[in-house]
Amino acid sequence: MTTAPVPSPASPPPPSPPASRVRKSVTGTRAYLAAGFLLPALVLLGALVVYPIGYSVYRSFFDQSGDGFAGVDNYKTLFTDDTILTAVKNNAIWVVCAPTIATALGLIFAVLTERVRWGTAFKLIVFMPMVISMLAAGIIFRLVYEQDPDRGVANAVWVGVHDTFAESAGFPRAHPLPAAPLKPGGGGSFVTKDAVHAGQPALLPLVGVTADKMPSSAKAAKTPAADPGKITGTAWLDFTKGGGGTPNTIDSKELGLKGIKIEAVREGQVVASATARADGTFTLPAKADGAQLRLPPGNFREPYNGVNWLGPSLVTPAIIGSYIWMWAGFAMVLIAAGLAGLPRELLEAARVDGANEWQVFRRVTVPLLAPVLAVVLVTLMINVLKIFDLIFIIAPGSSQDDANVLALQLYRSSFGTDADLGVGSAIAVLLLVLVVPVMLFNIRRMRREARR
């Protein structure tokens, strides 16, 4: 009987070559070579970022001169000084409102422009403000919010809409001369000194209206014709351009007060009213006989001058509006890029299952875009914490304290004749503390996305 050959023992594996003493990275780059390339960047990072942060923290514990140790007094000032507290409050408003509204508008624009033929042109128009510097945008919106409707676009539109639905102003600052047949009637009105009678034309001369404030369609004033059964009269600007003319007399170069309202008042009751024609003439019925004529105060009120956009109460919302005008396009472009990468089959499946467009948007599109929305929101939050240019340029000196934010207060505290570098450094540290949590959240989110 033959026996199976006994297998020889396995030979030991060949010894592995000695490990190289020079460590290499995953890409095969030597560690010292990588460190050499990174060293200039690390030096710049330390000189431009790490050292200023460290020195700001150090300086925040010293007084205005920098010689005396102040402890935490500078930080106490941040929460006791009214101006700085206003800056903190305004920063909170900025962080909550500006990124949220800009992101929401960007989402709406991105979704809607997918459904229109001219979507690309619309995106280009919305994104164009991003190419404008903060300085230029501030100058633009300082003019947009100008109080004078003849210069400020916002008030020009607002006044136009107001005057469409409300009676426009008449002749502000118009008044009679002492020798005129008119006298103050109380409440800003003027009344005739004597009662008027049918067949005796009534003359109502006024002065105090500049030529540029007269209606463009006003005509040369005419002497009213007597009418035995009615009250006739003329209301006109008793001023001859270039001089000359006779008071209380209608001269050839004088204009009628077109549109001025005249009321006939007897025993405190208005019995009739009329509106002057282009030549200033008017006619009242016979029942006005024996009454006094009154020019009501509505003829002389100041014209509606719009909204004080840069006043203490509206300056912060107005500047936030200019910021949204610039950054809504940024949000739209990022969200549109995320929207282009969504799986279309999920959207179509939701529509097939009976969901309407609002349900598809709210329950499918928005959840799928959540990572992109988080990127946009966090980026804008970091950006608004540093906002300075727009407020410094747009807010006038009278409202700058009301529009104040931490970055602007940092500048105001650190420069100028009354500079306090201790308080300025404390504000800088506070801004750093506010930015760090947002940055950490963003870093964690990016790592979480990378692991997926």
3-state secondary structure of 20: coil
Binned at pLDDT 50, 70 and 90, residue 22 comes out as low
Q: Is 132 left (phi over 0), alpha (psi -120 to 50) or beta?
A: beta
* pLDDT reading at 98 higher than 90: yes
Sign of CA dihedral 111, 114, 119, 123: positive
Relative to beta strand 231-237, strand 202-206 is parallel
Q: What is the pLDDT of residue 14?
A: 58
Give pLDDT tens digits for 282-338: 999 989 999 999 999 888 887 788 889 999 999 999 999 999 999 999 999 999 999
Handedness of CA 117, 123, 124, 125 (dihedral sign): positive
Q: What is the rounded CA–CA span in Å between residue 210 and residue 189?
A: 19
User: What is the three-class DSSP state of 293?
Assistant: strand
* Interval 405-415: pLDDT, tens: 999 999 998 88
Q: C-alpha 205: how far from its chain's center?
A: 45
How far is residue 355's CA from residue 351's CA, in Å, rounded to a whole number?
A: 5
Structure confidence at residue 300 (pLDDT): 85
- Pairing between β-strand 202-206 and β-strand 292-295 as defined by DSSP bridges: unpaired
Report the C-alpha gap between 192 and 176 in whole angstroms: 10
Instruction: Examine the pLDDT at 75 and tell me if it is beyond 70.
Output: yes
Write down the pTM of the prediction. Answer: 0.74
Distance CA 191, CA 410 (A): 60
What pLDDT is recorded for position 1?
46
CB atoms within 10 A of CB 63: 16
- For residue 206, what are the β-bridge partners? 237
Residue 251 phi, psi (nearest 5)? -100, 165
pLDDT in tens, 357-398: 888 888 888 999 988 998 899 999 989 988 999 999 999 988
Structure tokens at 133: 């510097």
The predicted-structure confidence for 188-238, as pLDDT tens digits, reads as follows 899 999 999 988 899 999 998 877 778 878 889 998 888 888 999 999 999
pLDDT, residue 3, reads 53
